[in-house]
Amino acid sequence: MCHQTVSLISRYIEEHGVPTVVIGAAKDIVEHCGVPRFLFSDFPLGNPAGRPHDVASQHATLKAALALLDAAPGPMTTMQNPIRWSDDHSWKEDISNVEKMSPEEIARRKAEFDKTKEIAKQKREDAGV
């Protein structure tokens, strides 16, 4: 959802005259929304701006984003960050992937989700929203 939130804000402020560049890891969500400029980091959710404690990868990522700000020829320009998260791509298999979960895991998550939803509802009511 973060990617959708940012994509919508990007479109809005760009429409009002401020150039933007999105650095994100969820390619489908950003491109489905459509943004002016998008640097796609094929990294796990949470670290789109480079590998943690790896200044060189962060520097290269920001450099690519700035280049995109400067030189994107038109709207919906996506550039892929050339940095690989890791030689092993198995990290892509697990996130939110029900095909990889056992029935027990799914049942546990359902119970947890129901509980979180109830707490959130209570919080919203308490906050008057």
Partner 1 sequence: MPDNPYGFAPPDDRPIPYMHRIKTYYQTLGYGKPYEWAHYVDSPFTPLKKPLSECKVGLIGTSEVAVRFDPETETDPIVEDDFRGIYAIPADMPTERFYSRTASFDRNATHLDDVNAYYPVDRLREAVADGRVAGMPNRFYGAYNNYSQRKVLTQEAPKVLEYCRADGIDALIMVPV
Please count the residues of this chain forming the interface with partner 1, following the rule CB under 8 A. Answer: 78
> Which residues within the stretch 69-98 sit at the binding site for partner 1 (CB under 8 A)?
69-70, 72, 74-76, 89, 91-98
Nearest Cα to Cα of residue 45 among 105, 4, 102, 82: 4
From 106, 119, 121, 122, residue interacting with partner 1 (rule: CB under 8 A): 106
Least CB distance to partner 1 at residue 104 (A):
13
Nearest Cα to Cα of residue 49 among 36, 34, 60: 60
- Amino acid 34 reads G
Least CB distance to partner 1 at residue 44 (A):
4
Least CB distance to partner 1 at residue 41 (A):
10
Q: Kindly tell me which of 62 and 79 has the beta carbon lying closer to partner 1.
A: 62
Q: Are 30 and 68 in contact (CB under 8 A)?
A: no
123 by Cβ neighbours in 10 Å (0-12 / 13-18 / 19+) ranks as exposed
Q: Could you say whether residue 104 binds partner 1 (CB under 8 A)?
A: no
